[in-house]
Amino acid sequence: MSAPLAQLIGTGDDTGGVVILEDSIECPAKPLLQHFLNAWSAQGKAVVLVSVEHPLHTYTCPHATLIDGFCNPLGWLGPPAEGSVPDSKVLHTSIAPLDVFVSTLNAALNNISAPKQDVEHDQTSSNNIVNTATTASSRGKSHPEIMLVLDCVSPLVLKYGAPKIIQMLHSLNHQPSSTLFHPSSSSSSLSSSSTSSPHHRASFTTILFIVHQDVHDDALVLSQMEQHARVVLNTSALPAGYAGPHHGVIEGIQKRRSGKVVKTKLLFQTDSKTLAVKLDPADILEKQASIPPPTQSQGNPSAPSPALQPKPDPAANLTFNLRLSEQERIARDNVVLPWQHTGAPSPYAVASSFSVDNISDDGDDYDDEDPD
Amino acid sequence: SMFTSLNSALNWTEATVPSGKLIFVQDCLQSDGSFVLLHFLSLYLKQGHKVTLVGFEQSLFHYVNITRKLGLNLAQSFKETKFAFVNALSVPYSWSEFGGEHGGDGGGAEGFQPFPTTTFTIQDKDVEASAKKLVTMINNAAMGVLPGVRKGGLDTDTDAGQRSVIIIDSLSVMHLASNDGLIRDLAHYLKVITHTHTNCSIVFLMHGDAEDDKCLMAALHHMSDIVFSVSSLESGHSVDVHGQVKVTGVSHCMPLMHYKIVDNNVLVFAPGTKT
């Protein structure tokens, strides 16, 4: 796995769990999903790819178990026409009701995790899944890593609600320290039926899916899903003014087993022809943000700074005089207004025991030009 | 074809019209997006391809008059098995005056009818069944099975490579009778049809004015291959510019264009440029 990808989803003991790709219309995450598929295929990991939003042929994942939930998710189009040849490499499923969908996923999981001697038995079953991934997964590995990739989980969340889908994901995914299938244990329990007992049930090591942020009107939905995820990767558009080759930003939050939460920020660019994704550090974004935007004075070195530029004089270039001479200014300041307390009694004042003091405060709008 | 400036802006030639695409046209009250539907209608008919038009909001009389100004004769196209019309306006709901038991194919389509049409009615007690019926009808149209379109036309050697388009004007009527979930399911199956019948494209219009429909519009955006967002100018009303169009999903196309509707044409130009 490439270093940037490992940086996003973790390595070693900090792998597995639920990985969410959050995207929007401005920055779709489908190329990133393909990037993960490419990486896991290159590593020889067993992958179960489920298409819900896009047709299977838009993804490239050799040796993966393919489940088609796109072509007829609700059964509106009826059964396939007579004479049509079903694709034995693809398992078709509907998303309604949900337990049918989950059963299909569990059947694919059990088929992959079953020992090799049981593969021939499973191939005679009605599922008829050609599972080439079994060869890779059971080749000397005691804990095969099985990846479940759902191209989009938003249609399921919109139909059934976030709590139900979270429960479904939790039932499909367990931490490696819990009920992971051990090939050394009795295999006869698997050969008996396709739905094995919970005690020997295998689990998906990692579940990866896309969620569209802008499709769910309740922010609580995303929050609930993020709570149950180990890694949350959020794709967003680049800031305005960015002139590089990249197409978007990935901000990742990874929860490690030690309790530490690691945040990562990367830039990605997608090749328009091959749809290959390249990940780069996001340092260039921070460098661009630290550079102040050019001002007008920077364009002209001889111009003074804005603070030193003279302010325009409103009394200039008039046909009448608005200015005061020095004598006029002194005379105006020396005028004593009748209501101002001067300390000296007026010769016209009537002797009384009380007086009125006018003391201006901050709220008074005292105008030098119009003091009364 | 008409709207040559729109074709030029989209970098579409007569030979490279979209095929196997789900095209979503979103408009609003201030800016009517039906000119985009007329563009596809004209584009495909003038190239000799098949067109099926599902009219929820306008009558056949309206389309015949509009297309006559564009140099098209829908009655002639019907005779040549190139055009079919689904009348979803005359008997829109099962409780309509001429609907229910007395409805049926053409039963409620009174008045102007230069050629046979198919009637579609929304069953208000079971809107999902109506949506399924619409999907089946469109799926059959994609295979060339509709009044006016030769049965199996798309599968015969003579029609090899011939494309077709199904235009829905508009899905907002179905939305009013149902809910967001049903429209998402319906749009999903429209997408399935375009991927199953790769010679067929589907263009549907929806009005995106309401703030409550924001998430539904986003979902339709995600599902669609090409999106035309028709809206009014942010700066306000202008005599020379009637609105703006944002296009996504078309390579080498200006993301934002201004447009002006003249008598028989639509002029499309880059923002800030003179017509």
State pLDDT tens for residues A249-262: 999 999 988 888 88
Q: Comparing A67-71, A123-127, A217-221, B166-170, which segment has the lowest mean pLDDT?
A: A123-127
pLDDT for A299 beyond 70: no
Q: Do A76 and B135 touch (CB under 8 A)?
A: yes
Q: Comparing A180-184, A259-263, A321-325, which segment has the lowest mean pLDDT?
A: A180-184
For tokens 């490992």, what's the residue? A6
Q: Looking at residue A318, what is its pLDDT? A: 75
pLDDT for A155 beyond 60: yes
B185 touches chain A (CB under 8 A): yes
The number of CA neighbours under 13 Å toward the Cβ of A307 is 0
A237 touches chain B (CB under 8 A): no
The number of CA neighbours under 13 Å toward the Cβ of B74 is 25
Q: Looking at residue A131, what is its pLDDT? A: 42
Q: Looking at residue A282, what is its pLDDT? A: 79
A143 touches chain B (CB under 8 A): no
Nearest Cα neighbor of B134 from B96, B162, B173, B99 is B173
Q: How confident is the model at residue A80 (pLDDT cuts 50, 70, 90)?
A: low
In chain B, % of residues over pLDDT 90: 46
To the nearest whole angstrom, how far is the Cα of B192 from the nearest Cα of chain A? 6
Q: Looking at residue A219, what is its pLDDT? A: 87
Range B10-28 average pLDDT: 87
Give, to the nearest 10 degrees, the angle between helix B180-196 and helix B127-142: 20
pLDDT for B156 beyond 60: no
CB < 8 Å to A77, chain B: 135-136, 139, 189, 192
Higher pLDDT, B191 or A96: B191
- Between CA A248 and CA A309 the distance in angstroms is 42
pLDDT for A272 beyond 90: no
The number of CA neighbours under 13 Å toward the Cβ of A266 is 19
Q: How confident is the model at residue A366 (pLDDT cuts 50, 70, 90)?
A: low
CB < 8 Å to B248, chain A: 25
Range A202-208 average pLDDT: 89
CB < 8 Å to A159, chain B: 181
pLDDT for A288 beyond 80: no
Q: Looking at residue A53, what is its pLDDT? A: 94
Higher pLDDT, B15 or A199: B15
Q: How confident is the model at residue A141 (pLDDT cuts 50, 70, 90)?
A: very low
CB < 8 Å to B215, chain A: 214-217
Q: Comparing A56-65, A149-158, A280-289, which segment has the lowest mean pLDDT?
A: A280-289
pLDDT for A215 beyond 90: yes
CB < 8 Å to A55, chain B: 195
Strands (E), chain A: 17-23, 46-51, 65-68, 90-92, 146-150, 206-212, 231-236, 248-255, 261-270, 277-281
- The mean pLDDT of chain A is 75
DSSP classification of residue A311: P
Q: Looking at residue A270, what is its pLDDT? A: 83
- Between CA B55 and CA A283 the distance in angstroms is 53
Q: Looking at residue A130, what is its pLDDT? A: 40
pLDDT for A117 beyond 90: no
Q: How confident is the model at residue B154 (pLDDT cuts 50, 70, 90)?
A: very low
Nearest Cα neighbor of B136 from B83, B174, B190, B176 is B190
CB < 8 Å to A74, chain B: 185, 189
CA B133 to chain centre: 18
Q: Which residues pair with B266 in a beta bridge?
A: B261
Q: Looking at residue A162, what is its pLDDT? A: 93
- Between CA B103 and CA B235 the distance in angstroms is 48
Q: Looking at residue B245, what is its pLDDT? A: 92
Torsion sign across C-alpha atoms B238, B240, B242, B243: negative
Cβ-based neighbour number of residue B80 at 10 Å = 14
pLDDT for B99 beyond 50: no
pTM of the model: 0.76
Give me the residue from B132, B195, B222 closest to A212, CB to CB. B222
- Between CA B203 and CA B51 the distance in angstroms is 11
Higher pLDDT, A176 or A45: A45
- Between CA B180 and CA A154 the distance in angstroms is 14
Q: Do B222 and A55 touch (CB under 8 A)?
A: no
Q: Do A212 and B189 touch (CB under 8 A)?
A: no
In this structure, the dihedral spanned by the alpha carbons of residues A355, A356, A358 and A361, taken in order and rounded to 10 degrees, is 100
Token readout for A100 is 């049918």
- Between CA B55 and CA B50 the distance in angstroms is 16
B150 touches chain A (CB under 8 A): no
Q: Looking at residue A116, what is its pLDDT? A: 55
Token readout for A222 is 């995303």
Q: SS3 for A78?
A: coil
Range B28-36 average pLDDT: 91
- Between CA B148 and CA A260 the distance in angstroms is 67
Q: How confident is the model at residue A140 (pLDDT cuts 50, 70, 90)?
A: very low
- Between CA A189 and CA A172 the distance in angstroms is 19
Do residues A2 and A279 touch, judged by C-beta distance below 8 A? yes
Pairing of strands B164-169, B50-55: parallel
pLDDT for A11 beyond 90: no
Q: Which residues pair with B122 in a beta bridge?
A: B93
**For B12-88, where are the alpha helices, taking DSSP H only?**
34-46, 60-69, 74-79
Q: How confident is the model at residue B18 (pLDDT cuts 50, 70, 90)?
A: confident
Cis peptide bond prior to B170, omega within 30° of 0: yes
Q: Looking at residue A191, what is its pLDDT? A: 38
Range A304-326 average pLDDT: 69
Range B102-108 average pLDDT: 44
Q: How confident is the model at residue B149 (pLDDT cuts 50, 70, 90)?
A: low
CB < 8 Å to A21, chain B: none
Q: Comparing A17-31, A114-128, A148-162, which segment has the lowest mean pLDDT?
A: A114-128
Pairing of strands A206-212, A65-68: unpaired
Do residues B122 and B132 touch, judged by C-beta distance below 8 A? no
Q: Looking at residue A175, what is its pLDDT? A: 45
Q: How confident is the model at residue A52 (pLDDT cuts 50, 70, 90)?
A: very high
Q: Looking at residue B261, what is its pLDDT? A: 86
CA B244 to chain centre: 19
Higher pLDDT, B195 or A352: B195
Pairing of strands A206-212, A146-150: parallel
- Between CA B155 and CA B164 the distance in angstroms is 12
pLDDT for A51 beyond 90: yes
> Which residues 78-137 in chain B show a CB within 8 A of chain A?
131-132, 135-136
Top-confidence range, A128-132, B20-24, B112-116, B235-239: B20-24
Q: Comparing A93-97, A318-322, B82-86, B127-131, which segment has the lowest mean pLDDT?
A: A318-322
Q: Looking at residue A189, what is its pLDDT? A: 38
Token readout for A351 is 């002797």
Mutation target to probe the B interface, by most B beta carbons within 10 A, among A25, A156, A215 is A215
Do residues A262 and A256 touch, judged by C-beta distance below 8 A? yes
Burial (Cβ within 10 Å: 0-12, 13-18, ≥19) of residue A112: buried
Token readout for B160 is 């090899």
Range A238-257 average pLDDT: 85
Length of chain B equals: 275
pLDDT for A303 beyond 60: no
Range A7-35 average pLDDT: 86
pLDDT for A179 beyond 50: no
Range A317-342 average pLDDT: 78
Rg (Cα) of chain A, in Å, rounded? 36
Range B97-124 average pLDDT: 66
Mutation target to probe the A interface, by most A beta carbons within 10 A, among B222, B223, B227, B251 is B222
Q: How confident is the model at residue A326 (pLDDT cuts 50, 70, 90)?
A: confident
Q: Which pLDDT tens digit goes with each residue over B195-236?
A: 999 999 999 999 998 888 899 999 999 999 999 999 988 777
Range A71-85 average pLDDT: 73
Top-confidence range, A154-158, A234-238, B81-85, B123-127: A154-158
Length of chain A equals: 372
Torsion sign across C-alpha atoms B168, B170, B172, B175: negative
| Sheet containing A261-270: order of strands | A90-92, A65-68, A46-51, A146-150, A206-212, A17-23, A231-236, A248-255, A261-270, A277-281
Q: Looking at residue B143, what is its pLDDT? A: 83
DSSP classification of residue A334: T
Cis peptide bond prior to A79, omega within 30° of 0: no
Q: Which residues pair with A251 in a beta bridge?
A: A234, A265
